[in-house]
Amino acid sequence: MDRPLLLVDAPSLYFRAYFGIPESAARAADGTPVNAVRGFLDMLATLIRVRRPDRVICALDADWRPAWRVALLPSYKAHRLAPGGGTGEVVPDGLVPQIPIILDLLAALGIPAVGAAGYEADDVLGTLATREPGPVEVASGDRDLFQLVDDAKPVRLLYCGRGVARLEVFDDAGVRAKYGVPAAGYADFAALRGDPSDGLPGVAGIGEKTAARLVDRYGDLAGILAATEDSTAGFAPGLRAKLAAAIEYLAVAPTVVRVARDIGMPPLTGTLPAEPVDPDRLLDLAEKWNLAGPTKRLVDTVCGVN
């Protein structure tokens, strides 16, 4: 098989890195915490070493809570809004200054990190996974990205829910084994079940097992709702009533859950560099932020995998 394109959900990884390493364990000379940077660099190095891609692109949140999703479902990520009535996300104070450092290091090394106005990192990943030739591997701890798995291309999800060291590689059979639905049905399944982490209420009274059974039997949400109108479908009256009570939510939730796959984005190669594109800048950054070790490990991995 050809070497894959590795698409990295950068926010998923740097949030995980921040909470996985104490701030006190990694600081620059001026006291700035660099725990998230250190963890992110090491996780990226591990992914590249283990998966051996020939291209790598990191996706960013240009808009973590897009207005078009909120217009459809006002509860979308509402619980994660920073207090004070603004539109910003609650982000730990110690993480905020580390994100630009990560981007500076990636740029000096030569790994693209891209976002798209009005869209989340998930949508960038969805567009690139759809647009770019396979094989594609998407590294993330976000369950919504199970919907990108596609055996035909192929697209695999490298699920980092338990960390990069305990990576779980999902194809369609893996998604079916975990949730009881094919990857193509995951968005409708998630809409029915709900997801408190994203502010998706789900359908009251329908849990994961029932949601999976419905998607598995009827194919998608349209098929499920059509079956509720069919007197010969054998739908239990109580279940039909639960779905009817949530009809307005079900009209918009799948669109909110589905990642965009057609964002207008410039061409990107992401070919791993044989050497850093700006070695002097990379060295200066590594020294300034006390990151010589993880930076060298990433450079050695990137340049060595070729």
Q: What is the pLDDT of residues 148-170, one digit of tens each?
A: 999 999 999 999 988 888 999 99
Domain 183-257 has CATH 3.40.50.720: no
For residue 233, pLDDT over 80 is answered with: no
Q: Model's pTM, two decimal places?
A: 0.95
Report the distance separating Cα 117 and Cα 64, nearest Å.
Answer: 10
Q: Longest C-alpha distance within the chain, in Å?
A: 72
Report the distance separating Cα 137 and Cα 171, nearest Å.
Answer: 10
The lowest-confidence range among 40-54, 68-82, 127-141, 230-244 is 230-244
Q: Where along the chain do its domains lie?
A: 5-182+260-280, 183-257
Structure tokens at 31: 């006291």
**CATH number corresponding to 5-182+260-280:** 3.40.50.1010
Residue 96's alpha-carbon distances to 35, 118, 134, 144, 229, in angstroms, are 12, 20, 34, 24, 51
Burial, 217: exposed, middle or buried (Cβ in 10 Å; 0-12, 13-18, 19+)?
Answer: exposed
The pLDDT value given to residue 84: 67
Percent of the chain with pLDDT over 70: 98
Are domains 5-182+260-280 and 183-257 of this chain identical in fold? no
For residue 1, pLDDT over 70 is answered with: no
Report the distance separating Cα 234 and Cα 169, nearest Å.
Answer: 37
Q: Give the Cα-Cα-Cα angle 95, 140, 157 (nearest 5 degrees).
A: 175
Report the distance separating Cα 40 and Cα 230, nearest Å.
Answer: 52
Per-residue pLDDT of 73-87, as tens digits, reads 999 999 888 886 667
